[in-house]
Amino acid sequence: MVLKLEDIRLSFDGFCVLDNLSLHVKAGEFVCLLGPSGCGKTSTLRVCAGLESPLSGRVMLGDKIVTDGTKVLPPEKRHIGFLFQDFALFPHLNIFQNVAFGLKGYSKPDTEHRVLEVLKQVRMDKYASALPHTLSGGQQQRVALARALAPKPGIMLLDEPFSGLDSGLRADIRDETLHVLKSTNVAAVMVTHDPEEAMFMADRIVLMKGGSIIQDGAPHELYTNPIDHFAASFFGEINIIKGIIKESTAQTILGNVKTSGFKEGEIVDVLIRPENVIVRPRSDVDQHFHTTKIEAARYLGRDSLLHLCVEDETGACTHLHARIDSQLKPIVDQNIVATMDPARAFVFRAC
């Protein structure tokens, strides 16, 4: 392990920020701390960096204890790279000098070689003599990455480093950042509140809530096998419909889902992503399906979002969202059949 946090407890003014949090990161692994604002993501990163002292628990870098509740090794002695929202480039130093700033103890020839090496990695070697204010936001981000990598850190810490960039540039820069970090085999821990960004960047996602880790795993594991309502809904819009347990099956207005661990007759929540709501025109053989009508359709480019009304036996309407191929031409007020793929539905106890 490059980084290990064990039973970290942190509080501010009596308010618990991290509650016995444990985390490990392997060499070359990219881990994203994901969650809503105030869940403890940045505090976890600051504990890793040595910028916050926990009440208890310990932090290890490799086989070295750097925090143990009584001592905290200063950030500058941890051999950690930092990349934050604020690029923090020195305005009076050119790009070469900014990158060289953290190379303490290097000879002049070694410094020059290392600075040019990392600037080439981020495709900024042609700007070595430029001042930061002459560069675009994306170029400044590349320079900040080069400066963080120059001392060859054992691990990189990234705190929402792309949030200040516009959407088009953000996609390009995060792609470049990922490739550079993977090519150097440096471990990385990144904070983000954007689930799509976490799924794009991470080998492993650590989903947090209220200072604790809710779920930890590969992106596809968290998306396809969420542990609860919160985990399921954090990765995108979700439909929640009621089901009743009969013979280990949750019976719903969209079909039945095999499940276990519930009592006969228990009311449960069945969570279905909009892309898992399957719609087709109603035919004469579909009389046993619930009456469903398209209330509205919105074209979104790659797909279209349908607003559906599914009537139960009493005539009450359940409002659902479905996503379908944008090349299909839904008709508002059209009567259709709505079903689901039960293998992609999630059954939880009712909230």
Taking the whole predicted model, whether its pTM rises above 0.95 is answered as no
* CB-based contact 279:338 (threshold 8 Å): yes
Same structural domain, 66 and 185: yes
Identify which of 85, 213, 187 has the alpha carbon closest to the alpha carbon of residue 141. 85
The per-type count for the chain, helices as H runs and strands as E runs, is 8, 20
**Mean pLDDT in each 10-residue stretch from start to end of the chain (351 residues)?**
95 94 96 96 96 95 91 91 87 96 90 96 96 94 94 94 85 92 94 95 97 97 96 96 97 96 97 95 85 93 94 91 89 91 96 87
Same structural domain, 17 and 158: yes
Last residue of a domain, one of 233, 261, 292: 233
Give the pair of three-digit tokens for residue 286. Answer: 């579909």
Question: Maximum distance among all alpha carbons in the chain?
Answer: 83
Tell me, what's the pLDDT at 69?
76
Same structural domain, 270 and 154: no
Same structural domain, 171 and 315: no
H/E stretch holding 183: helix 167-184
Domains held by the chain: number: 2
Last residue of a domain, one of 183, 207, 233: 233
CA atoms within 13 A on the CB side of 73: 16
- CATH number of 55's domain: 3.40.50.300
Same structural domain, 341 and 220: no
Place of tokens 């490059």: 2
Same structural domain, 150 and 208: yes
Same structural domain, 195 and 252: no
Tell me, what's the pLDDT at 23?
97
Same structural domain, 217 and 316: no
- CATH number of 294's domain: 2.40.50.140
Identify the domain containing residue 245 by its residue range. 237-349
Same structural domain, 198 and 300: no
Same structural domain, 111 and 178: yes
Same structural domain, 313 and 225: no
Last residue of a domain, one of 233, 254, 285: 233
Q: Which residues contact 187 (CB under 8 A, 6 or more apart)?
A: 2, 3, 25, 26, 27, 28, 29, 30, 31, 154, 155, 156
* CB-based contact 308:322 (threshold 8 Å): yes
Same structural domain, 39 and 102: yes
